[in-house]
Copies of this chain bind each other. A is one copy, B any other.
C-alpha cells in the first residue's frame, strides 16, 4: 500500500464515523479536515468533492457487509442459520449499534437510502445462492428465488431497521419467511433468538 493510499483510508474512516454520527449533510469538509489534522488542499488532493467522498465511504460500508455475508456462507452451519445470519447483516450488528444507530436519524436519510439500496443489491445474489442450496437439500421449496430473497431483505430492512418493532413483528416475520421460501413451519423459528431486542417494544 502506497503512502498516499494509507492516508486516504484513514480519511475515509474518519468521514465514515462523522457521517454516521452527524449525518452527511451536517458534516462539513472543515470539520473533517479539522479532525483529520490535514489541510484543505490535502483533502481535495484525495477527493474530487465531498460527494465523491460519500460514494467512497458507502462503497467501503457495502464491502464490509458483503464480506461478512460471504464469510457466513462459507461457514459449516445449517442453511437456515446462514440465511438468518445474512438477513441480520442487513441490519446493523449489535456491536456496531451505537454508531450505526445514527443511520436512522432523519438527517442521514440520504446516506441511509443509498446504503440500503446498494446493500440489498449486493446481498441478493449471495443469499440466493444459499437458498438454492437449501432447495437442493429439500429444506425449501420455491421458484423465483432472487425475487423471493430480495423480498425477504426488503422486509427485514423495513421491519427491523426503521425505528421500533414488537415481539409480534418477529413472529410474523418468521412465519412469512418460512412461507416465502416454502419451508416447513418451525424451520426458521430459531431466528427469534437472534434479533436484537433492545429496539423492541414491550407489549403493553
Q: Give the residues in chain B near A110, CB-CB below 8 Å.
A: 106-107, 109-110
Q: Mark A147-169, 1 if CB is under 8 A from B, else 0.
A: 11011001101110011001011
A172 contacts chain B at the CB level, 8 A cutoff: yes
Where chain A touches its partner, the secondary structure class is: helix
Q: Is the CB of A109 within 8 A of B113?
A: yes
Complex interface: chain B residues within 8 A of A144 (CB): 168, 171-172
Q: Nearest residue in B to A172 (C-beta to C-beta)?
A: B147
* Bound-state Cα–Cα, A28 to B177, Å: 44
Of B25, B159, B171, B175, which one neighbours A154 at CB under 8 angstroms? B159
Within the complex, what minimum Cβ distance (angstroms) separates A18 from chain B?
18
Q: How far is the CB of A113 from chain B (nearest CB, A)?
A: 5
Query: Cα distance A157–B162 when bound, in Å?
Result: 13
Q: How many angstroms from the CA of A154 to the CA of B163 in the assembled complex?
A: 13
- Give A residues with C-beta under 8 Å from B: 25, 106-107, 109-110, 112-114, 117, 144, 147-148, 150-151, 154-155, 157-159, 162-163, 166, 168-169, 171-173, 175-176, 179-180
Closest 6 CB pairs of A and B: A154-B158, A109-B109, A179-B179, A109-B110, A147-B172, A109-B113
